[in-house]
């Protein structure tokens, strides 16, 4: 390994480097003189030759003589000395064939092809045969008697000229090999940074100098501003600078010249290769050397630069593909994967520890999207992205991590309540309309950062979820205990599952009464769970868990069976004209076989479906509303009574109300409990009127006071359900209550 390659070893990419074939021998050869070897056992011949050529310069170079007095000595010199241009070889030395044997050693054993051989003999009859001249590529054949200055000069000049040509051809071939080799080395590189460094190294290697230089490039979009993309050696500190601010004045001029002429610039110690890449944009590779840069064929350099541009284009394609995997093109922002990488990098470089992450969720985006269309939704996302981008730039990173969730990662001084919410304080103009957006924000502060980007984003998502549940439109800061809550939800689900399997859940029944007569019209079955610690867990907490996990499907079937069996019991007790209501969650309604399930459970009892009421919560989450209406129609056809629960709180199913085969509207307790206010009364009145218009029964839930009951009576509501007359009760208690209850006929 020569010096050049040993130094190269220090570079990071050296492992990928292949030795450049062009450098092997020639790098050490001083090409300022011609090397001439005189092989003759006669000292006089040496002296005469030297004397005849003394002080001469041929083809611009001086001559340097090497002397061998035997074939053996000649062989040693040829083996150790590179670049012997011409050998004057005595045919007859120790033996009559020693000279010709020597020729065969030079060509066949030492494999020296370029060196020119001039045979010399004492006698004309010692001349070699034609075959020898041809096979061993012998330049000339001379009689020693002809050693005159003139004849020596003529034959040496022609030998040197042919040596020079052969070397140039050889050089060209090696150069081509080298270009091909360098190109394939470059092609093998995938990553951008090491690719540009390797261009510098490959160009340097082609020029046979040390890899000291830099690449300066112009982006396609931003033609004016050329920057230093990559640098090696003493230019390393220039990396990422603009060309204008380059500290090396002369180099700057050469680069500018190369860019303006769109061609290579060659000086004694500096070569600038112009690399035009239609995809990446123009680049220049400057190589600088303390020693004179060896001459290299102009065409080879051009061939090399055009090869590099092809490689650059290919690499740029690969990079572009990579970017697409990390880029959200709808809003022109990094995506979740990219954000994870950014956070990972910051966490790895200690300073990242004091960055915070905020997730920004647009309130009611799903509803807006559903009601105003996806195109409108996309616009909202784009304007939101723009506002965030304008507000948070370097050192912050803005990304979109899921449909309507954006992220801002940056120093805590940026991630403050005011700053995060500021972009949303003014309305957005979308399609000529003004739209005010509110956002809910979950923040993971710097001191709560986990070990990896994906963990941090997960934590932020937990806060965001909790914020959306109970702090819509607000900024909520993550605290580690929230993880515990999230874990405890998981624990809760596990416990719920176990309790369900062990038949530890039970139903309570809440009577529904006629508002006017207080007669019992029916009951609502409500699920209860008392956990191992003996505490009641609210269905408002565990029902959503059961819905999310799918447990509600089996649980719902169990509730129906239990409720029907209680209805059977009540009928046997003589209450022949009461209904039993069960709640059906949306998850159940979305089940393909919900109608089959109802049929199957009904078939276990000899009950009339007319006495079974299904309470369905009005909700935007209904999803495929058309399919659900189809199922409701089948249930209706089977004879079930259908009620809309929590009426008035849902979002848009009002449009579908007429298509739904309903029997009853159930006014949500939040309206019932605000009937003291005019607005509350108006809403209740409106719902009652609507029910009348649709010919539906109407019931008010959550009636707690006599005033509320009276008001509902005045508003002509049909039924009521509430703590005022009866709380939800287990079967045994309910039976006692029924015996005590005296309606006023």
Do 132 and 97 touch, CB atoms closer than 8 A? no
Least distance in angstroms from the C-beta of 668 to Ca ion: 6
With CB under 5 to 8 Å by kind, the binding choice for 384 among ligand C2E, Ca ion, none is: none
Least distance in angstroms from the C-beta of 563 to ligand C2E: 8
Please identify, using beta-carbon distances, which residue of 256 and 645 lies nearer to Ca ion: 645
Q: Which residues of 59-74 are buried (b: 16+ CB within 10 A; e: fewer)?
A: eeeebeebbbbbbeeb
Least distance in angstroms from the C-beta of 428 to Ca ion: 35
With CB under 5 to 8 Å by kind, the binding choice for 183 among Ca ion, ligand C2E, none is: none
Distances (CA, A) of 173 to 19, 21, 26, 82, 548: 16, 10, 14, 19, 71
Do 515 and 713 touch, CB atoms closer than 8 A? yes
Please identify, using beta-carbon distances, which residue of 444 and 555 lies nearer to ligand C2E: 555
Please identify, using beta-carbon distances, which residue of 355 and 523 lies nearer to ligand C2E: 523
Helix ranges (DSSP H) in 192-293: 192-207, 249-261
Q: Give residue 423's Cα distance to chain centre.
A: 26
Phi first, then psi: what are they for 607, rounded to 5°? -120, 150
Least distance in angstroms from the C-beta of 221 to ligand C2E: 56
Provide the pairing of β-strand 226-232 with 265-266.
unpaired
Task: Tell me the two tokens of residue 257.
Answer: 């010249």
**Measured between alpha carbons, how far is 118 from 723 in angstroms, rounded to an integer?**
124
Site for Ca ion in 683-712 (CB under 5 A): 701
Least distance in angstroms from the C-beta of 581 to Ca ion: 7
Least distance in angstroms from the C-beta of 401 to Ca ion: 35
Least distance in angstroms from the C-beta of 414 to Ca ion: 44
With CB under 5 to 8 Å by kind, the binding choice for 243 among Ca ion, ligand C2E, none is: none
Do 648 and 699 touch, CB atoms closer than 8 A? no
Least distance in angstroms from the C-beta of 584 to ligand C2E: 6
The 364-393 site mask, x for binding Ca ion (CB under 5 A), equals: ------------------------------
**Measured between alpha carbons, how far is 317 from 313 in angstroms, rounded to an integer?**
6
With CB under 5 to 8 Å by kind, the binding choice for 282 among ligand C2E, Ca ion, none is: none
**Measured between alpha carbons, how far is 672 from 659 in angstroms, rounded to an integer?**
26
Please identify, using beta-carbon distances, which residue of 384 and 583 lies nearer to Ca ion: 583
Q: Site size for Ca ion, by CB under 5 A?
A: 5
What is the binding site for ligand C2E (CB under 6 A)? 510, 526-527, 538-540, 543, 556, 559, 583, 585, 615, 645-646, 669, 701-704, 721-723, 728
Please identify, using beta-carbon distances, which residue of 419 and 497 lies nearer to ligand C2E: 497
With CB under 5 to 8 Å by kind, the binding choice for 702 among ligand C2E, Ca ion, none is: ligand C2E
Please identify, using beta-carbon distances, which residue of 404 and 615 lies nearer to Ca ion: 615
Q: Which stretch, 291-299, 332-340, 624-632, 640-648, contacts Ca ion (CB under 5 A)?
A: 640-648
Please identify, using beta-carbon distances, which residue of 455 and 733 lies nearer to ligand C2E: 733
With CB under 5 to 8 Å by kind, the binding choice for 540 among Ca ion, ligand C2E, none is: ligand C2E
Closest Cα to residue 120, out of 79, 156, 150?
A: 156
Site for Ca ion in 460-519 (CB under 5 A): none
**Measured between alpha carbons, how far is 281 from 313 in angstroms, rounded to an integer?**
9
**Measured between alpha carbons, how far is 275 from 305 in angstroms, rounded to an integer?**
5
With CB under 5 to 8 Å by kind, the binding choice for 217 among Ca ion, ligand C2E, none is: none
Least distance in angstroms from the C-beta of 579 to ligand C2E: 15
Provide the pairing of β-strand 536-537 with 520-530.
antiparallel
Least distance in angstroms from the C-beta of 391 to Ca ion: 42
Provide the pairing of β-strand 327-328 with 333-334.
antiparallel
Least distance in angstroms from the C-beta of 646 to Ca ion: 4
Burial of 674 (0-12, 13-18, 19+ CB in 10 A): middle
Q: How many CB atoms are closer than 10 A to CB 601?
A: 18
Do 121 and 91 touch, CB atoms closer than 8 A? yes
DSSP result, 351-385: GGGG-EEEEEEETTHHHHHHHH-HHHHHHHHHHHH
Among 646, 667, 715, 729, binds Ca ion (CB under 5 A): 646
Among 361, 613, 645, 718, binds Ca ion (CB under 5 A): 645
The 570-589 site mask, x for binding Ca ion (CB under 5 A), equals: -------------x------
Please report whether residue 566 would count as binding Ca ion according to CB under 5 A.
no
Among 615, 618, 718, 719, binds Ca ion (CB under 5 A): 615
Least distance in angstroms from the C-beta of 722 to Ca ion: 11
Closest Cα to residue 213, out of 180, 248, 183?
A: 248
Task: Tell me the two tokens of residue 375.
Answer: 């195109």
Please identify, using beta-carbon distances, which residue of 181 and 583 lies nearer to Ca ion: 583
Least distance in angstroms from the C-beta of 589 to ligand C2E: 10
With CB under 5 to 8 Å by kind, the binding choice for 543 among Ca ion, ligand C2E, none is: ligand C2E
Least distance in angstroms from the C-beta of 558 to ligand C2E: 9
Is the bond into 404 cis (omega within 30 degrees of 0)?
no
Instruction: Give 314's contacts (C-beta < 8 A, 6+ positions apart).
Output: 187
Please identify, using beta-carbon distances, which residue of 99 and 728 lies nearer to ligand C2E: 728
Please identify, using beta-carbon distances, which residue of 40 and 615 lies nearer to Ca ion: 615
Least distance in angstroms from the C-beta of 727 to ligand C2E: 7
**Measured between alpha carbons, how far is 598 from 614 in angstroms, rounded to an integer?**
10
Do 277 and 312 touch, CB atoms closer than 8 A? yes
Please identify, using beta-carbon distances, which residue of 385 and 683 lies nearer to Ca ion: 683
Please identify, using beta-carbon distances, which residue of 398 and 508 lies nearer to Ca ion: 508
With CB under 5 to 8 Å by kind, the binding choice for 718 among Ca ion, ligand C2E, none is: none
Please identify, using beta-carbon distances, which residue of 624 and 704 lies nearer to ligand C2E: 704
Q: Which stretch, 97-105, 375-383, 439-447, 607-615, contacts Ca ion (CB under 5 A)?
A: 607-615
With CB under 5 to 8 Å by kind, the binding choice for 722 among ligand C2E, Ca ion, none is: ligand C2E
Phi first, then psi: what are they for 229, rounded to 5°? -80, -40
**Measured between alpha carbons, how far is 637 from 652 in angstroms, rounded to an integer?**
25
Closest Cα to residue 622, out of 598, 646, 596, 597?
A: 646
Please identify, using beta-carbon distances, which residue of 343 and 515 lies nearer to Ca ion: 515
Please identify, using beta-carbon distances, which residue of 98 and 726 lies nearer to Ca ion: 726
Do 595 and 537 touch, CB atoms closer than 8 A? no
Task: Tell me the two tokens of residue 607.
Answer: 């009950």
Half-sphere exposure of 193 (CA within 13 A, CB side): 5
With CB under 5 to 8 Å by kind, the binding choice for 723 among ligand C2E, Ca ion, none is: ligand C2E
Provide the pairing of β-strand 333-334 with 356-362.
unpaired
Q: Which residues of this protein are in contact with Ca ion, per CB under 5 A?
A: 583, 615, 645-646, 701
């Amino acid at each position: 390994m020569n010096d050049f390659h040993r130094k190269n070893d220090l570079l990071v990419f050296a492992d990928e480097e292949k030795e450049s074939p062009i450098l092997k021998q020639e790098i050490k050869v001083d090409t300022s003189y011609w090397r001439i070897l005189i092989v003759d056992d006669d000292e006089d011949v040496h002296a005469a030759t030297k004397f005849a050529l003394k002080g001469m310069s041929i083809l611009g170079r001086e001559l340097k003589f090497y002397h061998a007095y035997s074939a053996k000595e000649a062989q040693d010199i040829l083996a150790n000395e590179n670049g012997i241009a011409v050998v004057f070889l005595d045919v007859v030395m120790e033996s009559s064939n020693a000279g010709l044997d020597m020729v065969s050693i030079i060509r066949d054993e030492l494999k020296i092809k370029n060196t020119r051989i001039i045979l010399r003999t004492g006698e004309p009859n010692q001349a070699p045969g034609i075959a020898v001249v041809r096979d061993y590529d012998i330049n000339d054949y001379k009689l020693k008697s002809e050693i005159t200055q003139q004849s020596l000069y003529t034959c040496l000049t022609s030998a040197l000229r042919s040596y020079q040509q052969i070397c140039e051809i050889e050089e060209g071939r090696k150069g081509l090999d080298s270009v091909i080799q360098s190109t394939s080395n470059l092609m093998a590189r995938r990553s951008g940074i090491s690719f540009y460094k390797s261009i510098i190294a490959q160009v340097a290697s082609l020029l046979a100098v040390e890899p000291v230089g830099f690449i300066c490039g112009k982006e396609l979009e931003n033609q004016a501003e050329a920057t230093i993309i990559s640098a090696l050696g003493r230019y390393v500190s220039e990396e990422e600078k603009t060309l204008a601010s380059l500290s090396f004045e002369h180099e700057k001029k050469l680069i500018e010249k190369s860019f303006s002429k769109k061609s290579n610039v060659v000086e004694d110690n500096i070569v600038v290769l112009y690399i035009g890449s239609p995809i990446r944009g123009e680049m220049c590779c400057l190589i600088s050397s303390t020693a004179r840069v060896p001459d290299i064929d102009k065409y080879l350099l051009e061939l090399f630069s055009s090869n590099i541009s092809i490689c650059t284009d290919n690499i740029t394609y690969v990079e572009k593909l990579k970017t697409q995997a990390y880029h959200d093109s709808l809003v022109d922002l990094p995506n979740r994967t990219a954000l994870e990488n950014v956070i990972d990098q910051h966490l790895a470089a200690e300073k990242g520890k004091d960055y915070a992450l905020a997730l920004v969720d647009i309130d009611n985006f799903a509803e807006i999207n559903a009601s105003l269309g996806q195109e409108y939704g996309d616009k909202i996302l784009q304007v939101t992205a723009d506002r965030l981008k304008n507000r948070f730039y370097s050192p912050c990173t803005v990304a979109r991590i899921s449909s309507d969730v954006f992220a801002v990662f940056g120093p805590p001084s940026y991630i403050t309540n005011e700053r995060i919410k500021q972009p949303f304080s003014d309305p957005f103009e979308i399609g000529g309309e003004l739209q005010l957006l509110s956002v809910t924000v979950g923040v993971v502060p710097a001191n709560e950062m986990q070990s990896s980007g994906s963990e941090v984003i997960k934590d932020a998502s937990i806060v965001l979820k909790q914020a959306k549940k109970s702090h819509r439109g607000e900024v909520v800061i993550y605290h580690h205990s929230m993880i515990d809550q999230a874990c405890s939800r998981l624990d809760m689900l596990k416990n719920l599952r176990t309790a369900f399997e062990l038949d530890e859940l039970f139903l309570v029944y809440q009577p529904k009464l006629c508002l006017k007569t207080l007669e019992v019209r029916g009951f609502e079955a409500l699920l209860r769970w008392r956990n191992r610690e003996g505490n009641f867990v609210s269905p408002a907490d565990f029902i959503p868990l059961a819905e999310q996990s799918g447990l509600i499907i089996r649980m719902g079937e169990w509730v129906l069976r239990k409720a029907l069996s209680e209805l059977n019991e009540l009928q046997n007790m003589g209450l022949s004209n009461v209904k039993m209501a069960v709640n059906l969650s949306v998850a159940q309604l979305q089940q393909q076989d919900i109608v089959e399930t109802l049929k199957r459970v009904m078939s276990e009892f000899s009950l009339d479906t007319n006495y079974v009421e299904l309470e369905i919560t009005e909700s935007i989450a209904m999803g495929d509303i058309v399919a659900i209406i189809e199922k409701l129609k089948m249930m209706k056809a089977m004879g079930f009574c259908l009620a809309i629960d929590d009426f008035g709180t849902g979002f848009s199913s009002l449009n579908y109300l007429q298509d739904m085969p309903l029997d009853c509207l159930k006014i949500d307790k939040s309206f019932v409990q605000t009937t003291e206010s005019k607005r509350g009364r108006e809403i209740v009145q409106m719902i009652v009127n609507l029910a009348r218009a649709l010919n539906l029964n109407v019931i008010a839930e959550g009636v707690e006071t006599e005033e509320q009951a009276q008001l509902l009576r005045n508003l002509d509501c049909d039924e009521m359900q509430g703590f005022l007359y009866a709380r939800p009760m287990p079967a045994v208690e309910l039976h006692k209550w029924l015996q005590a209850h005296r309606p006023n006929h």
